[in-house]
């Protein structure tokens, strides 16, 4: 059998052994071709991984289908929970390997990877492990009938994950699916497959039966399309762009009407009132909300609305904090912002910056490339941005923020809701009544009050409008992975 094991050395000397095959039926197998995965900090190839097309997708789905009907569907909930906790323990054990792979592959600072990636993966596995034996139906009182409901797994669930937070997104797709008795085929992004492949090794070590969890890599138009159209896939969970989300919905509609959940883009506003207790604290959270992960987050707070009484002070302090943060080598201890994920994304962000300048917005800070190696962009602040300007309307997915002034609460709510997206928003005020009023008025799936970017496995996440369909995380996600059966027994009364 061909071996796909390779050794990867991180810039700090940490070595990781990795199997780069397609993980199907608890084995690493060959793909249709290979894909080079690139270190975005240098532009150099890290390694090559096996890539799937329709034939390999069929193998993965068949393995998952066989595992589902071969016993996982009716498996003991406590056994599912035990395996999930075992996988979580192994991820904790190998956390350093995983964070090094994540930072090399994605470009995020190593400190950020340590803070959130294995920690978040483990949290989600442990959280949903606790639900395995708590998926209860109800008894419904009806005259002359004993009626009860049963929550049953759907079958084979497909997951398609993005490149910006690969480990977390893998957990979001795997944990609720296997908790509820489904089997899964997850397609990673071709840009960031490495941490998922390392976790695939741990899936086998944890003792999951063959076919329950399958992890493949491939391009969207080939592997993603095949997974979305597969007649044995009963549900697709996708996180990524609006255009791809629409294509997945179309594929589901044209085939077997599989269930679809979508977590798509965002253009999230943060509203900053002039009664905040500390402008410095708000500046910290607003800065984190846009520039964390180089602005590559669907829920990034890319539109800042600042009340006129503190506008000038806020902008000055925001600029000062931004200038104090280091952009550079992800493996340097003092780095805050790493590179954009790829040359394509780098060019896309730079194009938006050019558009902002041409349309008359003021480039208050940044707007240029940093260095000549890798895909680094200066954190960029635009002011004097009109409501109809492209950079105010469209998702940029990079370190670019627009700051606007507002006068009163009704004015800013209208501005904040003037978007086709509705994923998240921030509200900053010391007035609790105002916080509640504004939070209730905003058309978004998550509202952060006096902070930004907090998250836990227990809290639902998803969007309004074109930011998506359905919810991931928390108990709310379970309904996307189960179907409800009603049983009605005539008891002759």
Q: From its phi and psi, is residue 114 left (phi > 0), alpha (psi between -120 and 50) or beta?
A: alpha
Rounded CA-CA distance 339/333 in Å is: 15
What are 336's two structure tokens? 């805050």
Dist. CA 270–CA 267, nearest whole Å: 10
The residue annotated as part of the active site, out of 53, 102, 190, 263, is 263
Query: Distance of alpha carbon 182 from its chain centroid, rounded?
Result: 21
123 token code pair: 């949290």
Report how far apart, in Å, the C-alpha atoms of 225 and of each of 19, 209, 252 are.
25, 26, 10
Q: Is residue 79 annotated as part of the catalytic site, yes or no? A: no
Locate all alpha helices (DSSP H) within 23-94, ordered by sequence: 54-67, 77-93
How does DSSP assign 369-413, residue by residue?
A: EESSSS-EE--EEEES--TTSHHHHS---SSEEEEEEE-SHHHHH
| Of 360, 438, 436, 335, the residue nearest 111 (C-alpha) | 335
Strands 22-24 and 446-449 come out as unpaired
Bridging pattern class, strands 156-160 and 183-188: parallel
Residue 110 token pair: 């190593």
Question: How does 420-435 read in b/e, with b if 16+ C-beta sit within 10 Å?
Answer: ebbbbbbbbbeeeebb
- Tell me which residue of 62, 423, 410 sits closest to 211, measured CA to CA: 62
Rounded to whole angstroms, how far apart are CA atoms 263 and 173? 11
- Neighbouring CB atoms inside 10 A of 181's CB total 23
Dihedral-angle region of residue 397 (phi above 0 means left; psi in -120 to 50 means alpha; beta otherwise): left
For 6, 241, 264, 296, 392, the CA distances from 466, given in Å and listed in that order, are: 41, 10, 7, 18, 16
Cα-based torsion angle of the residue sequence 383, 388, 390, 393 in order, rounded to the nearest 10 degrees = 90
Closest of 34, 8, 39 to residue 21, by C-alpha:
34
Q: Which two tokens stand for residue 481?
A: 């992975």
Q: What are phi and psi of 254, to 5 degrees?
A: -85, -10
Taking a C-beta distance cutoff of 8 angstroms, is the pair 298, 264 a contact? yes
Catalytic residues: 263
């Amino acid at each position: 059998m061909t071996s796909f094991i390779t050794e990867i050395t991180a810039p700090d000397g940490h070595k990781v052994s990795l199997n780069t095959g397609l993980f199907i039926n608890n084995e690493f197998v060959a793909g249709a071709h290979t894909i080079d995965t690139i270190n975005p900090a240098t532009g150099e190839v890290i390694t090559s991984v096996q890539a799937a097309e329709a034939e390999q997708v069929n193998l993965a789905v068949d393995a998952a289908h066989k595992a589902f009907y071969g016993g996982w569907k009716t498996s003991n909930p406590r056994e599912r929970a035990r395996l999930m906790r075992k996988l979580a323990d192994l991820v904790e054990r190998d956390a350093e390997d995983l964070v090094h792979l994540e930072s090399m592959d994605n470009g995020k600072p190593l400190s950020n990877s340590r803070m959130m990636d294995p920690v978040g993966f483990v949290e989600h596995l442990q959280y949903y492990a606790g639900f395995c034996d708590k998926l209860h139906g109800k008894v419904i009182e009806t005259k002359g009938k004993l009626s009860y409901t049963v929550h049953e797994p759907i079958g084979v669930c497909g997951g398609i994950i993005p490149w910006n937070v690969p480990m977390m997104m893998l957990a979001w797709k795997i944990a609720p699916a296997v908790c509820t008795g489904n089997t899964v085929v997850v397609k990673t992004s071709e840009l960031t497959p490495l941490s998922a492949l390392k976790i695939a090794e741990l899936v086998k070590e944890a003792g999951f039966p063959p076919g329950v969890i399958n992890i493949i890599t491939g391009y969207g138009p080939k592997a993603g399309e095949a997974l979305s159209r597969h007649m044995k896939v009963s549900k697709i969970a996708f996180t990524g762009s609006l255009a791809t989300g629409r294509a997945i919905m179309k594929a589901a509609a044209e085939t077997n009407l599989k269930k679809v959940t979508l977590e798509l883009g965002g253009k999230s506003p943060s509203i900053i009132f002039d009664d905040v207790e500390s402008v410095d604290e708000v500046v910290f959270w607003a800065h984190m909300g846009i520039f964390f992960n180089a602005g590559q987050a669907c829920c990034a707070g890319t539109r800042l609305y600042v009340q006129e009484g503190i506008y000038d002070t806020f902008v000055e302090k925001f600029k000062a904090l931004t200038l104090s943060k280091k952009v550079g080598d992800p493996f340097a201890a003092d780095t805050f912002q790493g590179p954009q994920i790829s040359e394509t994304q780098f060019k896309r962000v730079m194009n938006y910056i050019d558009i902002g300048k041409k349309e008359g917005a003021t480039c208050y800070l940044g707007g240029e490339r940093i260095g000549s190696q890798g895909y680094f962009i200066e954190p960029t602040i635009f002011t004097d941005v009109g409501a109809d300007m492209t950079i105010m309307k469209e998702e940029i997915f990079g370190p670019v923020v627009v700051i606007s002034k507002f006068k009163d609460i009704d004015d800013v709510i209208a501005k904040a809701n003037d978007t086709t997206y509705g994923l998240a928003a921030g509200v900053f005020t010391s007035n609790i009544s105002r916080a509640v009023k504004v939070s209730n008025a905003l058309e978004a799936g998550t509202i952060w009050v006096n902070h930004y970017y907090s998250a836990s496995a227990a809290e639902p996440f998803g969007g309004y409008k074109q930011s998506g369909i359905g919810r991931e995380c928390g108990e709310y996600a379970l309904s996307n992975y189960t179907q409800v059966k009603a049983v009605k027994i005539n008891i002759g009364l």
